[in-house]
Structure 1
């Protein structure tokens, strides 16, 4: 199983389209917020055979997306959130606490526009960064791909557009 994880496209969708065409097909697409009205377009690009999960970002005004979602990816219980309700700009401690209280394996968030991957007390916490307005050093648009192998184990790869 291949899962494309993105966030913070802010209606500047060219990089996402390019990745989906060049690296697809994917079994699942996860968008962690700040879609800004491109929900239907992105779901159309994903195609009928791809599950699509999107959550509400702080710039998704007038959207009916869920504030957060709990989903299963293989054996993993996963929380999808934009992160702004958990003050992720100050750290991921609240995300870890939330995951442990809900018995979740993975938390995926956006909002900071910076890629992040750490394991905190057995909880995988990750952020794919932003495909449109990256803020990390070097400012390369980024995304993640999660692959589930035949034994059910997940592996995460951070990728950059154009590199």
Structure 2
């Protein structure tokens, strides 16, 4: 059974050394999601990854033309991605989850906090890959998420560290 490999990153903040390392380490993958605070090289992320790439604007992406949010259908899932700062994710995930449900999304990707999380809840998968540049979680290791989705839409994933 063929599985799709999905790479999820965020908060690279102009410094793409770890991003480039992760690209090489994880290739090949089928889809790339970047949850914002790119601060440059958007075109390289979108077109240089060799696969479909979705990138949203973060609170530090002042000069680009990135969308603030992305909604896409992938298999039986609807994915909602936003940087998260407009949904107060540093304090609670309640606003973000409410918005995702209102949009009919069952997979939510966000960034902003620089702290990785991957939660498989009853009706929703919520993830933040952390930051590849300025990690803020206890071990302070740059992080990202790799997901695999099978043909029936079953999703498995893990937080990985550089």
TM-score scaled by structure 2? 0.93
Runs (5+) with no aligned partner, structure 1: none
Alignment of 1:42-121 (within 5 A): 42-47=45-50, 50-121=51-122
Q: Give the RMSD, CA atoms, in angstroms.
A: 1.2
Q: Using the TM superposition, give the Cα deviation of residue 117 of structure 1 relative to its aligned residue in structure 2, in angstroms.
A: 1.8
- What is the distance in 2 between the residues matched to 1:77 and 1:32? 16
| Alignment correspondent of 1:138 | 139
Deviations 1:14-70 (A, max 9, x none): 1111111121011111000001011112234302xx001000000001111001010
SS of residue in 2 equivalent to 1:88? coil
**Count of equivalent residues:** 159
| Alignment correspondent of 1:29 | 32
The answer to whether the Cα contact below 8 Å between 1:17 and 1:45 also exists between their aligned partners in 2 is no
Moved >4 Å (runs of 4+):
none
- What is the distance in 2 between the residues matched to 1:72 and 1:12? 30
Matched, 1:40 2:40: no
Q: Using the TM superposition, give the Cα deviation of residue 116 of structure 1 relative to its aligned residue in structure 2, in angstroms.
A: 1.2
SS of residue in 2 equivalent to 1:112? coil
The answer to whether the Cα contact below 8 Å between 1:96 and 1:120 also exists between their aligned partners in 2 is no
| Alignment correspondent of 2:127 | 126
| Alignment correspondent of 1:12 | 15
SS of residue in 2 equivalent to 1:157? strand
SS of residue in 1 equivalent to 2:152? coil
